[in-house]
Structure 1
Amino acid sequence: MHLLVTGFEPFGNDQFNASGEAVRLVPDKADGHRITKAILPVSFQRSGEVLAALLQDHQPDALICVGEAGGRDEISLEVQGANVDDARIPDNDGAQPVKQSIVRGGEDYRPATLDPEIILKALHQAGHGAYLSEDAGRFVCNRIAYLAYGQKVPALFIHVPALRPEGQKATVGAETDNREAALKAQPRTSCTLPELAEALTVVLASLADQMK
């Protein structure tokens, strides 16, 4: 089985993105299954284009997309993506859409096409804090979740806490939740980067079991 896992590049004024760094630490194989890792741009326009190209080039059996969420201190599995771009801050290209549809005439919400309940159970059994989320925000993460859930390949979007190396503070990442919550959110986390990578490896093993 071939699994595609994506994270994101840093954005805003930050030089670190926990999703991209955790994805880089994921092994190239898990339980004998091949894993392709890639980093998406934090761009409303280019992120979907890059994801589509990756799916075309690699033809994976399943897709896991990972983003970071400031204000969340556990892994969150996104059960749906919303058909709205509504940016609190500009993306890395300077774009800042306000209440724009991702797909004109598309469904208001698209559900995850991999079972998040099974993955949640696997994470809990492995000792990782995680929960199901119904709000992927309205920034680029949500856009990718919505687009991923419309692909033929089964997919799930996962948010990890916006952790940073010692001495650094996340100034972005609160884009995950609605505007009011984002403005109040304070990035926080008690986990480490290796723990996030371990959790993603658990996800991939659980995913492989789903796809058998």
Structure 2
Amino acid sequence: MTDTTVLVLGFEPFDKAPLNPAWEVARTLDGKTIDGARIVGVQLPCVFGKALDALDAALQQHRPSLVIALGLAGGRTALSIERVAINVDDARIADNAGQQPIDVAVATDGPAAYFARLPIKQAVTAMRAAGVPAEVSNTAGTFVCNHVFYGLMHRLNTVPAWAQTRGGFVHVPYLPEMAAALPGAPSMAVETQCKGIEALIAAVLRHDPEQQDLQLSAGQLH
């Protein structure tokens, strides 16, 4: 039985949508084994603050060696591995609790930004090799997705218990059933999205963390 746990986080539906592909992927992967690691899917509320409470609970319960958080980015055509999380909440719309923070720090004691703790270029190569459109993205936005991404990286960089834990964030496209109501909107089947995230996880698990991408060596940006 494996001692390695990979936590895959996905948000609940938001903005009146009936479903969220991020959660559909996370719940589909829940219970699978990839390269000897057990996958645990956890749903996060699309709510500032409460999403980080749920993250903390999941970290404590599952003690993962790798955390991949997923979020919806409607309009994107590929799975987008985010490079950097920034220390600001600036919501274009309200979250599921009606909150709409403007220009508020995610962590008042944190740096301006953190890089993902993933070999992002190698992961993109692996995902494309699996036949899944993938890319590196340099903007995770300023909504709850970035809130969780920054909160995750802040914990991995400041809490000794998580010093060796790797983590990052991936934005995913609409599902076809969502795009059907949005003429011209790009989409990707949940099976394809799962295939891409599985390839990403395998690439990270096989990668030597001592040989991370150059941008990861800095850890954080002041």
TM-score range relative to shorter protein: 0.7 to 0.9
Query: Secondary structure at the residue paired with 1:15?
Result: coil
| Alignment match, 1:96 | 100
| Alignment match, 1:165 | 177
Q: Does 1:155 align with 2:167?
A: yes
Farther-moved stretch of structure 1 (67-76 vs 146-155): 146-155
CA separation of 1:104/1:155 partners in 2, compared to 1, >3 Å: closer, same or farther? same
Shift of 1:166: 6.2
**Inter-partner Cα distance in structure 2 for 1:36 and 1:190:** 25
CA separation of 1:31/1:142 partners in 2, compared to 1, >3 Å: closer, same or farther? same
| Alignment match, 1:67 | 71
RMSD over aligned CA atoms reads: 1.8
Greater RCO structure (CA 8 Å; 6+ sep): 1
Query: Secondary structure at the residue paired with 1:165?
Result: helix
| Alignment match, 2:8 | 5
Query: Secondary structure at the residue paired with 1:198?
Result: helix
Identity of aligned residues (%): 33
CA separation of 1:167/1:74 partners in 2, compared to 1, >3 Å: closer, same or farther? closer
| Alignment match, 2:26 | 23
Task: Letter of the 1:46 partner, please give it.
Answer: K
**Inter-partner Cα distance in structure 2 for 1:12 and 1:98:** 18
Q: Does 1:113 align with 2:117?
A: yes
**Inter-partner Cα distance in structure 1 for 2:136 and 2:99:** 29
Shift of 1:109: 0.9
Query: Secondary structure at the residue paired with 2:89?
Result: coil
Pairing partner for 1:35 from 33, 39, 46: 39
- Is the 1:81–1:109 Cα contact (8 Å) retained in structure 2? yes
Farther-moved stretch of structure 1 (191-200 vs 81-90): 191-200
Q: Does 1:196 align with 2:193?
A: yes
**Inter-partner Cα distance in structure 1 for 2:113 and 2:124:** 21
Pairing partner for 2:50 from 46, 66, 70: 46
1:72-116: CA deviation from partner (whole Å, max 9, x where unpaired): 111100011010100111101110000111111421111101221
- Is the 2:176–2:187 Cα contact (8 Å) retained in structure 1? no
Structure 2: 5+ residue stretches without partners: 157-161, 210-222
Structure 1: 5+ residue stretches without partners: 171-185
Number of residue pairs matched? 197
**Inter-partner Cα distance in structure 2 for 1:206 and 1:191:** 21
CA separation of 1:167/1:85 partners in 2, compared to 1, >3 Å: closer, same or farther? closer
Shift of 1:191: 2.1
Query: Secondary structure at the residue paired with 2:148?
Result: helix
- Is the 2:179–2:186 Cα contact (8 Å) retained in structure 1? no
**Inter-partner Cα distance in structure 1 for 2:6 and 2:194:** 15
The TM-score with structure 1 as length reference comes to 0.87
- Is the 2:176–2:188 Cα contact (8 Å) retained in structure 1? no
- Is the 1:128–1:199 Cα contact (8 Å) retained in structure 2? yes
Task: Letter of the 1:208 partner, please give it.
Answer: L
Shift of 1:167: 7.5
Runs of 4+ off more than 4 Å:
none
Query: Secondary structure at the residue paired with 1:121?
Result: helix
